[in-house]
Structure 1
Amino acid sequence: MTIQTLEIMKCTHEKQKPEADQLEFGKYFTDHMFIMDYAEGKGWYSPRIIPYQPLTLDPASMVFHYGQTVFEGLKAYRSEEDGSVRLFRPEENFKRLNQSSDRLSIPPIDEAQLFAYLKELIRIDKEWIPTKPGTSLYIRPFIISTQSNLSVAPSQSYKFMIILSPVGAYYKEGINPVGIFVEDQYTRAAQGGTGMAKTAGNYCAAYKAQERATSHQKAQVLWLDGMEKKYIEEVGSMNVFFKINGEIHTPELSGSILEGITRRSVIELLQSWNVPVHERRISMEEILSASKSGTLEEVFGTGTAAVISPVGELLWKDHQMTVNDYKTGEIAKKLYDELTGIQTGKREDPFGWSIILNEDYE
């Protein structure tokens, strides 16, 4: 693929940057954004970095009507050790973006070019990367369909964008367990659907279930399979793991579960520690049985935002299951420390997961 010249237009007035203790997820955005267009027969063209600004779209743009859109989420970290800027396994995010695009009939983007554009955007807005422990720069690449047409068919034009947002520590008072509501009424996804894709509709369709969880004073939803409402899939926007009798179990990827990059990293870490890991179908009846027998030792979610989110309680129908006396488990804490240590440069990275952005980032 031909390398395209990146056009850069810098803003004339920089925004005031928030204090580290004011940071919330997705509230503040940097001075610049990346944008690129696609037209059928022309391909992706006109890559550019411009001042952060609103978009102007035709009311008939297909994204508004048929939801043909995908996105990703990753982070840039400023190392406390040497001040370097680091990305955690970004190539996996680019690969998954194209996998999601394929499922939504969106044309793929060259992953090497995408990485080059992202690095330049981060370089320009590097002063927005917070330095306080636990903070980071959240990166949101996304694609929307823009053709002005109400026909039910894939769009012939798209916009690809990247926006950046400084975010605070997910756990403001340390890593603490949360309560989980097991959803047995609504369905997140089914085999053959879009559950494996990171697309907008998967998330808004979960709002009603989250309302139910909130009404039961629970922080997150644990989804079950769409067919039998029997087998565990994932927690909210995270994958889920169970420690049962000293071994780790997580639902297998069946086409309805998002293949989390943190999930994969956790599995590889556990295997390197010689901890048995099983990817398989797991029923709620099995989890209830393990809870009653005392062999359910830990439950935790994994994802980009929280990294590791320990679970202290599961509510399924009339069954209230307390996990590890509502305390963070040993494995969950060890995984959190190791992953965040690798991401921020505090710990060695034997896997080569971190990409260090050296040039002009000091």
Structure 2
Amino acid sequence: MTQQPPAGTGLGFGALFTKHVVSARYVAGAWSGFELRAFEDLRFSPAAMVMHYGQAIFEGLKAFRSTAADEVLIFRAADCARRFDRSATRMAMPPLPAGMFVDAVRTLVEADAAEVPSAPGSSLYIRPVMVADEPSLAVRPSIEFSFLVLASPVDSFFASGRSMIDAYAQRDHIRAALGGTGDVKCAGNYAGAMAAKADAQAHNCDEVLWLDAREHRDVEEFGAMNCFVVRGEDDHAELITPGLGGTILPGHTRATVITLAGRRGLTVREEPIELSQVLDPYGPVSEVFACGTAAGVAPVHRILTDTGEERTIGDRPGPVTSLLAADYVAVTHGELEPEPDWITKIAG
């Protein structure tokens, strides 16, 4: 099972932070301008509403050192800004003023550009977050909020030395149902998933493989990543991912992979994926991979279920997964032409 590197052997994920944060406040119906300040502990009232009613949203994006020039490349900041505002609206929180999200991210990365790592597999993980900090126990939406952007130099999401992950599918918990918050990035989605994550780890797996809430039949997504399978092989290979129907987070890495696959001439279909088909060693599913900002493209080695079914997908990444993983690394590092608005450049 994947473990974070021991202290002193690498950056790990989310344990180290850069010198600065960006912050802004929403009070009396309006956002303040943001400011760059030193990274330090925050002070909230014990009655801050986020600690009682969970009004909190966040985003995740990365900055990479360009391999071709002395630049830092922020990937898909504008897309994250749009999703952040959509999450805010769903959680009865105020969207940011136009342009603030991207400007705040750029300001932080410019200030801490020297801390963007350059080793293969490393990056600067950027975490914008908004929380309800009004001191009140009233059961209603908060009227005061804090917006923060912090950053963490990271290695791969999974431990060095392990190139593939194991996933555990169980039916005791669900991630999201129609009408819920499954398609936005609110903190409560992750809190509710921790028990299932612990269950997966207890079964010597790295990640949860979530199933649909109604039938527990179709694959939806991994713990913090979207899901793809490859159906068929060679010239007949097709890339399949569950459609966005309100219960799946519309991941930016997912969207990137779909675009990159299209450039390669691969057929991409958004349709239900039955777990039974994924588990069938003689069926059409030849490869499985997860993808997300934190992990990039993560090939799946093995899937285990709560009923004892198990399938080893492969002991090495499949050809389609390998191709798309390489293209993803190339486009985020400036080696492959991006789509418009994918890259924000910062002098390194």
Task: Give the TM-score, by structure 1 length.
Answer: 0.89
Aligned-partner Cα distance in 2 for 1:173–1:198:
27
Aligned partner of 1:352 among 319, 322, 340: 340
Q: Which structure's relative contact order is higher, taking Cα pairs within 8 Å and 6+ residues apart?
A: 2
Q: What is residue 238 of structure 2 aligned with on the other side?
A: 247
* Deviation per residue, 1:61-113 (Å, 9 max, x gap): 10000000000000111113212110111111111111111110111012413
Query: In 2, are the aligned partners of 1:21 and 1:168 still within 8 Å (CA)?
Result: no
Find the residue that maps to 1:85 and give its secondary structure.
strand
Find the residue that maps to 1:115 and give its secondary structure.
helix
Unaligned residue ranges in structure 2 (runs of 5+):
1-6
Aligned partner of 2:85 among 91, 98, 101: 98
Q: Does residue 44 of the first structure (1) align with residue 44 of the second (2)? A: no
Query: In 1, are the aligned partners of 2:61 and 2:126 still within 8 Å (CA)?
Result: yes
The farther-off stretch of 98-107 and 269-278 is 269-278
Q: What is residue 303 of structure 2 aligned with on the other side?
A: 314
Q: Does residue 28 of the first structure (1) align with residue 16 of the second (2)? A: yes
Aligned-partner Cα distance in 2 for 1:350–1:28:
29
Unaligned residue ranges in structure 1 (runs of 5+):
1-18
Q: What is residue 254 of structure 2 aligned with on the other side?
A: 263
The farther-off stretch of 148-157 and 208-217 is 208-217
Where do 1:29-178 residues align within 5 Å?
A: 29-41=17-29, 43-170=30-157, 173=160, 176-178=163-165
Aligned-partner Cα distance in 1 for 2:161–2:344:
27
Aligned-partner Cα distance in 2 for 1:115–1:173:
31
Where do 1:177-196 residues align within 5 Å?
A: 177-196=164-183
Q: What is residue 215 of structure 1 aligned with on the other side?
A: 202
The Cα of 1:341 is off from its aligned counterpart by 1.1
Q: Which runs of 4+ in 1 moved over 6 A?
A: none
Query: In 2, are the aligned partners of 1:247 and 1:277 still within 8 Å (CA)?
Result: yes
Please identify the structure whose Cα radius of gyration is greater: 1
Aligned-partner Cα distance in 2 for 1:209–1:350:
36
The RMSD of aligned alpha carbons is 1.8
Find the residue that maps to 1:138 and give its secondary structure.
strand
Q: Does residue 285 of the first structure (1) align with residue 273 of the second (2)? A: no
Task: Give the TM-score, by structure 2 length.
Answer: 0.92
Q: Does residue 331 of the first structure (1) align with residue 320 of the second (2)? A: yes
